[in-house]
Structure 1
Amino acid sequence: MHLRRILFALCSLLLATIAAAPVAHARTQHTVTFVNGTKQTLWIGSTVNADGSVNFAKLPRLAPGQSATVTIPEASAPGHWRGKFFARQGCTGQSGNGFHCQIGDCGPAADHCTTGEQPASLAEFNFDAGDSLAPWYDVSYVNAFSLPITISPRNAPAPPPGGGSCEQMGCPENLLPYCPSGDLTAGGKLCVNPNRDAETSYSRNLTSHCPKAYTWSKQDTVPGNRVMRQCSSCSGFTVTFH
C-alpha cells in the first residue's frame, strides 16, 4: 500500500507539471503580397522544390498598379514551403486552351503552373517551421533577368547599419540596358544567363548594378556576398515587380 501511494503521488505530480507547462503554439503562417509596379499586366507563377512542398493551385493576375496577397502553406504537411514566384509576361489565349506567355511560361493554366518555368526573374523563399531562422529569401537572376524584383519583409525590425537580417533584397533598377547583346532575347525583353554556374560578363554586369541579387549559382560562396537574407521576426513579405 505504501508503494502504491508513492506511485500515485508521483503520477499526480507529473500530471500537474504537464498541465502547468506552457502550450506550444504553431507559428503563424506568413503571407506574400505581390505588387505590379509595371505598366503591363502580369500573371503570377510559382514552382516548388522537389521536397514535398505543395504548390499553389490559384495565383493572381495583376493589372498595372494592382496587388494581391497569398498565404504560404507552411503550417500543414510537410511543415515547410520552399519555392519561387515570378511574373509571366505577354500572355495570350484562354486558360487551359492555348494559354501561353512570352516570358515565364509554365503551362496552359492562367492561374497556376503545371510545368517548370521558362527563364525569368525569381523571388525565392524557404519557409520552414522547423528552422528558427526561417524564412530565408533572395532575388535570383541566375537563369535570366526579365523584370526588376524587390523583396521587402513586413512588420520586422529595421536591419542594422550596413544591412543584414530583414533587409530588402533585389533592386528596382531595370538591368536590361546592361545585358550583353548576345544574351538578349524575346525582342530585347529578356536577358538569359549563358552559364548559370560560373561568373560571366552577364553576371558581372548585373551584379555591378544590383549586388543584392543572385546572378550566378555559386555567388553565395563569394566572400562578402549580399545575396541571401533571413527574417524570423517578420509577418510576411512584399514582392514588387518594377
Structure 2
Amino acid sequence: MTFVNRSGKKLWIGGTVNKDELDGDSKNLKSLPVLKPGQSATVTIPEVKAPHHWRGKFFARQGCSGKPGSTFHCAIGDCGVFAQRCKTGEQPVSLAEFNFDKKETKAPWYDVSYVNAFSLPITIAPKGAEKVTKNGSCSQQGCRKNLLRCCPKGDRQHNSAGKTVLCVNPNRDATSAYSDAVKKHCPKAYAWSKQDQETGNRTMRQCAKCKGFVVTFW
C-alpha cells in the first residue's frame, strides 16, 4: 500500500480496522507514515498470516501537534496520542477502505468513503492490474475534486480563521443535500451508507490480480 501526499499539507496517516473485527482478527497497523507535501511511503498489509485477512480503512490526519504518546492531538482525523498509529477510532473524515482476504477469490475489495465526512480528496488506484474490466473491476476510485467548496452551508466546520476544513454528513444512513452533493461531484465515492444498493452505483470495486494500491490524498 503506497500513500502519496499531494495535498500541500503535512499529513499523519491513520488506519483502523473495522469495528466488527473480533480479537484475534485484523489488527491495527503499528507504524504508519508521516508525509510532508509531495512525499510518499509504502507499507505492507499483513494478510499473509492468520487470520489471513485485513479489513479496515486509512485516512489523513491534519493539523497535528504535541508530544507523541502524551499530548499529541490532531485537529482533523484525530485517533489518539500516537503519531504513527491509532489508539482510538477516527473522527469523521475521508476514508480509503479495504477488504483483503486470502480466502476470497474476488478480494481485495476497495472504496473511497465520504459517508461520515469529507476532509480531503482521495483516489485509490490498483498497481499491477491497471486494465479496467467491463464491470469496472480494477478501476480508480474516488476523485481529485475538493468537495469542501460544494458542501452545504449547514454541514461545514471551520477552523479558528473561519476557513472551511471539514464537511460532515448530518445523517450517514439517509440521503440528504450532503449525499446529493457528493454523488454529483464524485460518483465513484460513497456518499451515504446504503449507496451500494442503488442501481448503477459505482462505489465499491475489486481487483483480484492487483499487486498493491496507491492511495493519494489531494
TM-score scaled by length of structure 2: 0.95
Q: 1:191 aligns with which of 157, 167, 180?
A: 167
Partner of residue 17, structure 1: none
CA–CA distance in structure 2, aligned partners of residues 157 and 66 of structure 1: 23
Q: 2:141 aligns with which of 166, 169, 176?
A: 169
Task: After the TM superposition, list the runs of 4 or more consecutive aligned residues in structure 1 that deviate by more than 4 angstroms.
Answer: none
CA–CA distance in structure 2, aligned partners of residues 131 and 160 of structure 1: 19
Is 1:202 paired with 2:178? yes
Partner of residue 124, structure 1: 97
AA matched with 1:37: R
Question: Is the Cα–Cα contact under 8 Å of residues 102 and 186 in structure 1 kept in the other structure?
Answer: no
CA–CA distance in structure 2, aligned partners of residues 65 and 111 of structure 1: 18
Partner of residue 22, structure 1: none
Higher gyration radius (CA): 1
Partner of residue 44, structure 1: 13
1:51-97 per-position Cα deviation (integer Å, ceiling 9, x unaligned): 22111011100000000000010011111000000000000111012
CA gap of 1:89–1:157, structure 2 versus 1, over 3 A, is: closer
Q: 2:66 aligns with which of 75, 84, 93?
A: 93
Q: Matched residues, percent identical? A: 64
CA–CA distance in structure 2, aligned partners of residues 138 and 103 of structure 1: 21
1:28-73 per-position Cα deviation (integer Å, ceiling 9, x unaligned): xxxx000000111000000002322111011100000000000010
1:181-209 per-position Cα deviation (integer Å, ceiling 9, x unaligned): 01001331000000000000000011100
Return 5+ residue gaps in structure 2 as ranges. Answer: none
Partner of residue 107, structure 2: 134
CA–CA distance in structure 1, aligned partners of residues 217 and 78 of structure 2: 17
Q: 1:225 aligns with which of 176, 183, 201?
A: 201
Q: CA RMSD in A?
A: 0.9
CA–CA distance in structure 1, aligned partners of residues 104 and 26 of structure 2: 15
Q: 2:77 aligns with which of 88, 94, 104?
A: 104
Question: Is the Cα–Cα contact under 8 Å of residues 43 and 60 in structure 1 kept in the other structure?
Answer: yes
Question: Is the Cα–Cα contact under 8 Å of residues 34 and 240 in structure 1 kept in the other structure?
Answer: yes
TM-score scaled by length of structure 1: 0.85
AA matched with 1:79: H
CA–CA distance in structure 1, aligned partners of residues 122 and 108 of structure 2: 18
Aligned length: 210
CA–CA distance in structure 2, aligned partners of residues 177 and 147 of structure 1: 11
CA–CA distance in structure 1, aligned partners of residues 13 and 133 of structure 2: 32
Return 5+ residue gaps in structure 1 as ranges. Answer: 1-31
CA–CA distance in structure 2, aligned partners of residues 110 and 240 of structure 1: 19
AA matched with 2:206: Q
Moved more, 185-194 or 126-135: 185-194
1:158-179 per-position Cα deviation (integer Å, ceiling 9, x unaligned): 1136x60000000001000110
AA matched with 2:143: C
CA–CA distance in structure 2, aligned partners of residues 91 and 180 of structure 1: 26
